Structure 1
Amino acid sequence: MAKSLQEQLLAAGLIDKQKAKKAAKELKKQDHLQRTGQDNQIDEAKAKADAARKEKAERDRELNQKKEQEAQQKAIAAQVRQLVTTNAIKSEHADIKYQFVDGKKVKSIYVDQAIWDRLSRGQLAVIALDLPGEKKYEVLPLQIAEKIRQRKDNHFIYIAESTADAMDEDDPYAAYQIPDDLMW
């Protein structure tokens, strides 16, 4: 009669009795689980554990991405704040009120005559600086305003339209000069 593979391996000395018993026990256990239907439950539990692990990894990945975006937004806000504070043009004798529109509200800042002239010609820009508890407006050169717009395109920047070059041909008052000292 033919010997089983296990008996042949034992006779050859390739395995010992403990390994043979362990293999036989594992084989009986698998056979029993298949007969009773519990084998499917183990596979289902493994599948659920794998799905839960993948879901947790996805949540962690989304959370890390959200944290990175928040950190990037904070860094951009800090860059904008630094550009505004270092390049703001200060008025020495701020006695003239310059008015502009922020959203639906008319806002104003006090500047001197030279800055008022450059603002009204569109050579300077007014930018909002959000400080804790208040909103402050500063005057900046156009190059700095463009750098800020590149970093944060939805930031409030007001640049007056220059109307000195564009005159309407049908304007009935085109021949009349507007005095320079006229304040609206």
Structure 2
Amino acid sequence: MVSLQEQLMKAGLVDKKKVKVANQEKSKQQKIERRTGVTSVNESREAALEAQRQQAERARALNAERDAAAAQKAVQAQIAQMVQVNRQSKGKGDIAYNFTIGTKVERIHVSEAVRGHLVAGRLSIVELNGAFELVPRVIAEKIAERAPERVVRVNKVEAVAGEDDPYKDFKIPDDFDW
């Protein structure tokens, strides 16, 4: 293999004097390093190492973004599967059930039995692909662990009224609709 010096001399970019001066400078630098024990800093090598470190950092950041996107996609697939498997029927849809999402009021039509389950907290409303689905409360809690913004409505089961409840003697009418 032909050395770089020889290639540069053949191309006419350097002459023998310049090669000789460069070799002398290199040997002087090596002598000084041996005597003092201090190595000289090679700027081009340091620049190459820094560029390599920056490239590795960019690669790590891109891999982290890719992994986060894949994890988010997997969570969305899990949620969709849980909703599809545990979806409950809304019934004939003769009663409107109103609920809020942020500041917007939405409405779904459910049967009387489903409305009772919603009010009692046994069923919950979950958003999936722009549609509202009814799932059991346990499934809604699992979905809320993964993506709380998907769970629209979960009614908490209220504790049984104790002896100190001031309204225990007042019954709520059956036909009372919120």
- Match of residue 25 from structure 2: 32
**SS at the partner of 2:150?**
coil
TM-score calculated relative to the size of structure 2: 0.71
Question: Who wins on radius of gyration, i.e. which is larger?
Answer: 1
Aligned residues: 150
**Cα drift, residue 106 of structure 1:** 1.9
Q: Does residue 51 of the first structure (1) align with residue 45 of the second (2)? A: no
Aligned mates of 2:48, 2:151 — CA distance in 1: 50
Shift of residue 31 of structure 1?
3.1
Give CA-to-partner distance per residue, 1:46-103, whole Å, 9 cap, x none: 1101100110011001101111100110110111012112211012311111112222
Aligned with 2:48: secondary structure?
helix
Residues in 2 aligned to 1:181 and 1:73: alpha-carbon distance in whole angstroms: 44
Q: Which runs of 5+ in 2 are unaligned?
A: 1-18, 30-38
Match of 2:60 in 1: 61
Partner of 2:165: 169
**Corresponding position of 1:141:** 136
Give secondary structure in 1 for the equivalent of 2:64: helix
TM-score (norm 1): 0.69
Consecutive unaligned residues of structure 1, counting only runs of 5 or more, are 1-25
How many percent identity over aligned positions?
A: 32
1:156 maps onto 2:151 in alignment:
yes
| Residue number in structure 2 paired with 1:10 | none
The question of whether the paired residues in 1 share the 8 Å contact of 2:124 and 2:155 is answered with yes
Q: Which residue of 2 aligns with 1:180?
A: 174
Cα distance in 1 between the residues matched to 2:23 and 2:149: 65
Partner of 1:18: none
Q: How far apart in 1 are the matches of 2:59 and 2:71?
A: 18
Residue 89 of structure 1 aligns to a residue whose secondary structure is: coil
**Segments ≥4 residues shifted beyond 4 Å:** 26-30
- For residue 180 of structure 1, report the CA deviation from its aligned partner: 1.6
Deviations 1:78-133 (A, max 9, x none): 1101211221101231111111222222222111111100100111111111x2xx
Matches of 1:116 and 1:164, distance apart in 2: 20
- The code of the aligned residue for 1:170 comes to P
Residue deviations 1:12-48 (CA, integer Å, cap 9, x gap): xxxxxxxxxxxxxx99854324669xxx998101110
Letter in 2 for 1:104: T
Q: 1:137 is aligned with what amino acid?
A: F
Q: Distance in 2 between matches of 1:33 and 1:140?
A: 77
**CA-CA distance at 1:162 after TM superposition:** 3.4
State the Cα deviation string for residues 117-164 of structure 1 (Å, max 9, x = none).
0100111111111x2xxx211110112112212323443341113347
Partner of 1:96: 95
Q: Matched residues in 2 for 1:162 and 1:32: separation?
A: 86
CA separation of 1:65 and 1:147: change in aligned 2, threshold 3 A:
same
